[in-house]
Amino acid sequence: MTRITCKKLSKRYGKGPIALDNVDLSLDTTGVFALIGRNGAGKTTLVRILSTTLFPTSGDAKIDGVDVVGEADEIRKRIAVLPQEARPIPWMTPRELITSYLMWRGVGYKNAGKKASEALDLLGITKFGDTMHSHMSGGTKRKVLVATVIASGADIIFLDEPTTGLDPISRGEMWDLLAKLKKGRFIFLTTHYLEEAEALADRIGVLDEGKLLAIGSLSELRRKTGYPYSVKILQKADHIKIKLGRVIRGRDGNLQVFTTKKGADELSRRLISNGIKFATNPVSLEDIFYFFVKKKVDEGGEETGGGEWQGA
Amino acid sequence: MARSVASQIFASVLVNAVYAMKNFPVMLINTMLTPFSFIIVITFISHGALFGLAVEGALIMTMVSNGLGLQGDLSHLKNDLKVQEMVVGSPTSATIYIVGMAISELVYALPTLAILVVLSFFFLNVSVIGAIAIGGALFLMFVVAIALGFFFSTITSDVIQSFAFSGMLSTLLSALPPVYYPITYIPMPYQYIAYISPTTYAAQIVQNAAGFINLSTAGLVVDWIVLIAVAVVLMSIAIKKSRWVEV
Ligand SMILES: Nc1ncnc2c1ncn2[C@@H]1O[C@H](COP(=O)(O)OP(=O)(O)O)[C@@H](O)[C@H]1O
Ligand SMILES: [Mg+2]
């Protein structure tokens, strides 16, 4: 089984703040791994280090035991990377771009042309194959770039925020494509759209301020929160004393309780008897994300954590 | 192996010259405009006397500006399009990439060079040895320009920085030196300023080979030594100090 492993991987750009902070990671390279995190969390930094385009400051990273710094040449044969905010060369057509990219990878001209046609077909953009990129919509351009890295035949594909900035329809199309493409190759994806990770990923990593806070499948992450249910209180409920689970305050000022099945039932009964509106759901990825990211806020002392909380 | 290296080099030529010329021919006209407008201006001002010299000057200028053009092209591919990063994370080395890109700049210059060579052939009296000397000096200037262009493209992170460096470089390599006229036209203490630029040495070699000036053997040897040394030093700095993987 191929694995990506990082040990105490850290990155500091120049004398700036730390961008990646002691990341330990062990990841099977099958299906889709989605790295989620806010802007500036360090997603791009991690992708660039793993894809050999950026040196780490300390720690190490390996793919299949091969070091991404010392043996980058070996790694590069097996990976293809689509950088964040990459754009297809405006004065070229998709067929020309894919052909050239494959030639840069060492494929002969003829063979590259053939593979370009196949990739265009796979991505459903054959009809744009000979249109100049400058005449294309943003969604199509992004598909061209994905087609380009997929055409490489690499078994590990890094896509850094491939859907950021796309309209909802194009984004949906990209999800369908990625769901199709993940068969037969490993896709390391970054995104700040949580629905995207939820829809596509087999495993998800939560990165914040350079720290990998959690990693696992959605159900594993749910379990890791310790509280598989979320009770969202939809109005002011400061007089309710909540003794169950963990409470965070949402941006709307209302409370959200992460709790067990039993806790959710009990809380529901009390909220109903007090006539307070609420919604109970299995925790979503969004809940999980806030759970882990906010937990750090708690530990920083800005909010009280723990099992008991009296609304203020 | 050799075939795959050839493919890798040819990829850069396709992207940066062949497809660019085919799909965006106005860029080609742009590269021809400057040298030919200089020839016209110099010829008019000198009442025709400096026409031949201006043609040789245009040859040097074409090599320099196309070589320096590498900086803008690479910056664009690296900083604006992020295509270079896709290449870094793929089985291509920095050396293969730069060699391919350098050739692409030369290919881009071919139409201009062809016209200038034809003009030289008809209007100038150059011996075979002279032609070889001119070719050598042009090649070395190209190496100098490519090395500088590559080096600065790898250390710039945005287009504004890139513009600033390319402005400086083109002043140093093509505005300052006496490319379109003999250095003796510059009054004495100021001639030393011209010698700051490596282009001046190439210009002297070319002007001497075409019979416009008469250098002593010692002077000629010095010109060659300086030019070769500058080319070698800059190229090794470019290869050693430029950043392929970011730090
Ligand atoms: N080239 C760089 N130079 C200096 N700081 C950088 C550079 N790239 C990223 N950073 C900083 O590193 C941190 C992580 O950035 P990044 O990896 O791009 O995050 P993300 O991709 O999650 O948005 C941010 O604070 C960012 O400002
Ligand atoms: Mg990013």
Residue B33, min C-alpha distance to chain A (Å): 21
Task: Please tell me the number of Cα atoms within 13 Å of A234 on its side-chain side.
Answer: 8
Rounded mean pLDDT, A110-128? 97
Neighbours of A91 (CB within 10 A): 18
Residue B154 maps to a domain: yes
Contact B24, A91 (CB under 8 A): yes
Q: Is the pLDDT of residue A232 over 80?
A: yes
Q: Please, which pLDDT band fits residue A245 given cuts at 50, 70 and 90?
A: confident
Q: Which CATH class is domain A224-300?
A: alpha beta
- Indicate the average pLDDT of chain B: 91
Residue B219 maps to a domain: yes
In whole angstroms, what is the distance from residue B33 CA to residue B69 CA?
14
Q: What amino acid is encoded at A135 in this protein? A: H
**Which segments of chain A belong to CATH 3.30.70?**
224-300
Burial class (CB in 10 A: 0-12, 13-18, 19+), A118: middle
Chains A and B: how many Cβ contacts under 8 Å? 108
Identify the CA nearest to A162 among candidates A179, A287, A210.
A179
Residue B246 maps to a domain: no
- What is the pLDDT, as a whole number, of residue B1? 65
Rounded mean pLDDT, B233-241? 88
Taking an 8 Å cut-off on Cβ atoms, the answer to whether A109 and B23 are in contact is: no
Residue A255, min C-alpha distance to chain B (Å): 43
Expressed in angstroms and rounded, the spacing between residue A64 Cα and the centre of ligand 1 is 27
Best interface-test mutation with B: which of A13, A49, A53, A130 has the largest number of B CBs within 10 A? A53
Percent of chain B with pLDDT over 70: 100
Rounded mean pLDDT, A23-37? 95
Q: Is the pLDDT of residue A186 over 70?
A: yes
Q: Please, which pLDDT band fits residue A128 given cuts at 50, 70 and 90?
A: very high
- What is the pLDDT, as a whole number, of residue B29? 85
- The residue with greater pLDDT, B161 or A188, is A188
Chain B residues in contact with A132 by the CB 8 A cut-off are 23
Q: Please, which pLDDT band fits residue A299 given cuts at 50, 70 and 90?
A: very low
Residue B32 maps to a domain: yes
Residue B164 maps to a domain: yes
**Ligand 1 pocket check: which of A43, A45, A82, A289 to mutate, most ligand atoms within 8 Å of Cβ?**
A45
As given in the structure block, the two tokens for residue B121 are 């052939």
Number of H helices and E strands in chain A, helices first, is 10, 16
Minimum mean pLDDT among A231-235, A296-300, B87-91: which range?
A296-300
Q: Does B24 touch chain A (CB under 8 A)?
A: yes
Expressed in angstroms and rounded, the spacing between residue A252 Cα and the centre of ligand 2 is 27
Range of the domain at B9: 2-241
In whole angstroms, what is the distance from residue B125 CA to residue A39 CA?
65
Which ligand 1 atom minimizes the distance to the CA of A160?
21
Residues 6+ apart with CB under 8 A from A312: A238
Chain A residues in contact with B12 by the CB 8 A cut-off are 104
Residue B109 maps to a domain: yes
- What is the pLDDT, as a whole number, of residue A294? 72
Q: Is the pLDDT of residue A46 over 80?
A: yes
Q: Please, which pLDDT band fits residue A296 given cuts at 50, 70 and 90?
A: low
Percent of chain A with pLDDT over 90: 70
In whole angstroms, what is the distance from residue B134 CA to residue B124 CA?
13
Residue B157 maps to a domain: yes
Percent of chain B with pLDDT over 90: 60
Residues paired with B203 in a beta bridge? none
In whole angstroms, what is the distance from residue B51 CA to residue B222 CA?
27
As given in the structure block, the two tokens for residue A198 are 């939820």
Domain spanning A3-216: CATH superfamily: P-loop containing nucleotide triphosphate hydrolases (3.40.50.300)
Taking an 8 Å cut-off on Cβ atoms, the answer to whether A86 and B86 are in contact is: yes
User: Model ipTM?
Assistant: 0.89
**Which segments of chain A belong to CATH 3.40.50.300?**
3-216
Minimum mean pLDDT among A112-126, A173-187, A237-251, B207-221: which range?
A237-251
Q: Please, which pLDDT band fits residue A216 given cuts at 50, 70 and 90?
A: very high
In whole angstroms, what is the distance from residue A105 CA to residue A152 CA?
8
Q: Is the pLDDT of residue A302 over 70?
A: no
As given in the structure block, the two tokens for residue B117 are 């060579």
CA–CA distances in Å: residue B152 to residues A14, B40, B156, B169: 19, 32, 6, 10
Q: Does B20 touch chain A (CB under 8 A)?
A: yes
Contact A294, A304 (CB under 8 A): no
In whole angstroms, what is the distance from residue A102 CA to residue A80 CA?
11
In whole angstroms, what is the distance from residue B221 CA to residue B218 CA?
5
Q: List, chain by chain if needed, residues with CB within 6 Å of any ligand 1 atom.
A: A 13, 16, 19, 37, 39-45
Contact B227, B202 (CB under 8 A): yes
- What is the pLDDT, as a whole number, of residue A295? 61
As given in the structure block, the two tokens for residue A120 are 């265009």
Task: Please tell me the number of Cα atoms within 13 Å of A63 on its side-chain side.
Answer: 24
How many structural domains compose chain B?
1
Question: Counting every residue, how long is chain B?
Answer: 247
Residue B247 maps to a domain: no
Which ligand 1 atom minimizes the distance to the CA of A210?
14
Q: Does B241 touch chain A (CB under 8 A)?
A: no
- What is the pLDDT, as a whole number, of residue B112? 94
